[in-house]
Amino acid sequence: MKSYLQSFAAVAVIAVSLYALSQEGRISEWAETGNMAATFGADTVRTKDLKEKYAEATTTIPQSRVRIFLMPGHEPDYGGAEYGSVKERDLNLALASYLRGFLEDDPRFEVVLGRGKDGWNPELAEYFVAKREEIQAWRNEQASMTERLVEEGELSFPKAGVSHQTVASDVALRLYGINKWLGESDFDFAIHIHINDYGSRKRNRPGELSGYAIYVPARQYSNSSASRYVAQALKDRFGELLSVSNAPREKEGIVEDRELVAVGRYNTAEVPSMLVEYGYIYEPQFQDPAVRDAVLREYAYQTYLGLKAFFSPDAEDNPRREVAILPYEWKKDLASAQTYRVDVLALQIALAWNGVYPPEGKTLYDCPISGLFGACTRSSVALFQKKYSIEGETGRVGERTRQVLNALFAE
């Protein structure tokens, strides 16, 4: 009788707990292991928790650090957008490597890259092999649960806003594996790094879309809230140098998404996550190798500053430098030309921070910061010269203009 009563009581407790969760809108189900599956609508990590962990991290206790996972989009040896000889997967890795370097300057961060030039992170590679069947079963379980809850009316999503290219099943499975591994490995945040493209673009011609977009989990997912707050911190930083995507469904800059595995499709990500598309692969700033490298480093630095602003908005130790490329010393005269140059890139960024780039009536869509000295740069140089009463060099950077630039931005 005692055993029966104990069993009855345990069942009653479970029933009451499930009812309470459903009344709060926190829909959940039992996993096959007997543990609760990922809970829709209940934050796995709160913004407050992330900031407190950062504030309490110490250099002497590695386990106290904020663990950030950076995933350079696509597989180590294939996949991703291409334009001429430019391959997205290479750009993603370069940007991620720069970002890791900036973040590691702060001893309160621990940063892990998902892959390098020659292959996957060894821990991940081993996990993919050892846990393949477990990952597949877990993914299927999460998908089945999500679809059933939608069918029963317990869960609803808005109509899909952005269509995504499909990926091979093995690639998708590794993305689900990353989500599972992150949740089991005490990570605090994940950023997937990409350069954009779209399917209807003619193969060897630039497309009509430009600008960045930050994808975050749909608000029904349990990792949504903190993800969006961090995304907003990045958006606040990107405004001076990057244009928001002009694709109709990306024009807000931050896009909620239910389908991207990287941010937690089927509620498979416990860790707050985002996927950043830093621009479209055919945009001019990605075409010349020297300028492209400086641009990727700058984008990484702006991402770093955004993360620092989120974790510690009032900290005295936050970087004072607003951009990575400055200070910069200009040693040559500059004028309109059809070649990409790093000194022109530095000029455009300096003019942007001086408030004269892009010129009045233009936007960063019209005048991307690209290292190419065209009509936009010429007009902005003229505005700069008017602002500082520089005569005789209108629209070009001569000796007098260089002197003022170097006085303002070389130290």
- pLDDT tens digit sequence for 215-262: 999 999 999 999 999 999 999 999 989 999 999 999 999 999 999 999
Structure tokens, 168: 């091979």
Structure confidence by residue, pLDDT tens digits, 135-179: 999 999 999 999 999 999 989 888 766 666 666 689 999 999 999
d(CA 84, CA 68): 33
pLDDT for the residue 166 = 63
pLDDT of 1 higher than 80: no
Asked, as a colleague might, if the bond just before 327 is cis with ω within 30 of 0, I would say yes
Query: Are 91 and 296 within 8 A, CB to CB?
Result: yes
pLDDT band, residue 80 (cuts 50/70/90):
very high
CATH of domain 342-409: 1.10.101
Lateral strand order in the sheet of 189-196 = 109-113, 66-72, 189-196, 273-280, 213-217, 254-257
pLDDT of 15 higher than 80: no
pLDDT of 340 higher than 50: yes
pLDDT for the residue 7 = 40
pLDDT for the residue 150 = 93
Provide the residue type at 374 as one letter: G
Structure confidence by residue, pLDDT tens digits, 23-40: 333 333 333 333 334 578
Angle of helix 342-353 relative to helix 375-387, nearest 10 degrees, comes to 50
d(CA 322, CA 320): 6
Average pLDDT over residues 197-203: 89
**Domain range annotation of the chain:** 47-311, 342-409
Q: 335: exposed, middle or buried (C-beta count within 10 Å: 0-12, 13-18, 19+)?
A: middle
Structure confidence by residue, pLDDT tens digits, 281-320: 999 999 999 999 999 999 999 999 999 999 998 877 788 8
d(CA 277, CA 212): 5
pLDDT band, residue 17 (cuts 50/70/90):
very low
pLDDT of 371 higher than 50: yes
Going by CATH, does the domain composed of 47-311 fall within 3.40.630.40?
yes
| Per-residue H/E/C for 256-278 | EECCCHHHCHHHCCCCCEEEEEE
d(CA 328, CA 346): 7
Give the residue carrying structure tokens 């800059």.
253
pLDDT above 70 as % of the chain: 89
Taking phi over 0 as left and psi of -120 to 50 as alpha, with beta for the rest, 279 belongs to left
pLDDT of 5 higher than 80: no
